[in-house]
Amino acid sequence: MKNIKFAKMSGNGNDFIVIDNRNGSVKLTGAGIRALCTNHFSIGADGLILAEKATSGYDFYMKFYNNDGKQAEMCGNGGRCISRFAYINGFAKKKMRFLAKDGAHEAEIMDNGNVKLRMIDPFDIKPLMKVKASGGVITGFFVNTGVPHFVTVVKNIDSVDVKKLGKELRFHRAFYPAGTNVNFVGKTAGGFAIRTYERGVEDETLACGTGATAAALALYAAGSAKSPVSLTAKGGKLRIYFNETAGKITDVYLEGNARVAAEGTICPEAYKF
């Protein structure tokens, strides 16, 4: 192992280790990624992102790993973080295009420091999906916004046992074999709040960009909100924009903050404990 330069970034409380690997010199195993993302013993993060060389017409390729060491298709908050990372480090302009496993994306660095990211058009939508769990039937909105999400509206979002119920739904046979992320949405005095059990992290996270996007679409389908939809996660507010044309949701954008917490060098000891 060798020393690797990195940035620690946060997108509304989702934290990531971000590495410039456009020269292809960084080789990480799943075990190494799990080690680096482990709190207390190493850097700690919800995920790790590599900026890699992309095909012509794109500024970079985003390779995203959850903190379990497994590569995932996309992460909305991670996409916003790596976009700001690319801008700060000079390999992308304020408006950029990049590729991820789920396809092409566009991003813009806003004047207020936020990043606005174009998501893929949602697919595999099941608006009134019923799942038996915890002794009852839970009705939710299933959609893939880059990764799969099951969104359910709750009366009191503060009282939900996100880790217990989220884990049960995440591994439910209805979503076999890929599993799903699980989002709980509740109405508050200030609008709507969201809490997320994130697949791959296997715990509640402070925010989830693809999850906020899924929740906004669920609220829209239920007639409870229209674009732009603002959602408050534990890590802060996210705003989702979209259009509907001939019954199809298009032009989906996710906006929120993307902050650099630290820059430094990963030492060989960080891989082992």
Nearest residue to 122 via CA among 46, 228, 216: 216
- The confidence score (pLDDT) of residue 269 equals 86
Q: Catalytic: which of 37, 81, 208, 267?
A: 208
- The confidence score (pLDDT) of residue 1 equals 62
Helical residues (DSSP H) of the chain, grouped into ranges:
30-36, 76-88, 162-170, 209-221
Per the confidence metrics, is the pTM higher than 0.85?
yes
Active-site residue, 75 included: yes
User: Is it the case that residue 227 has pLDDT exceeding 90?
Assistant: yes
* Among the ranges given (140-144, 248-252, 265-269), the one the predictor scored with the smallest mean pLDDT: 265-269
Nearest residue to 127 via CA among 227, 249, 255: 249
Q: Catalytic: which of 37, 75, 81, 267?
A: 75
Classify strands 248-256 and 236-245 as parallel, antiparallel or unpaired: antiparallel
**What's the pLDDT tens digit per position in 88-113?**
999 999 999 999 999 999 999 999 98
pLDDT band at 273 (very low <50, low <70, confident <90, very high): low
- Average pLDDT score, the chain: 96
Phi-psi region of 13 (alpha: psi -120 to 50; beta: other; left: phi over 0): left
Topology match between the domains 4-114+258-271 and 123-254? yes
Q: Would you say domain 4-114+258-271 falls under CATH 3.10.310.10?
A: yes
pLDDT band at 190 (very low <50, low <70, confident <90, very high): confident
pLDDT band at 271 (very low <50, low <70, confident <90, very high): confident
User: Is it the case that residue 61 has pLDDT exceeding 70?
Assistant: yes
Active-site residue, 208 included: yes
Q: Which residues of 246-260 are buried (b: 16+ CB within 10 A; e: fewer)?
A: eeebeebbbbbbbee
**What's the pLDDT tens digit per position in 176-189?**
999 999 999 999 98
All structural domains of the chain with their residue ranges:
4-114+258-271, 123-254
The CATH class for the domain spanning 123-254 reads alpha beta
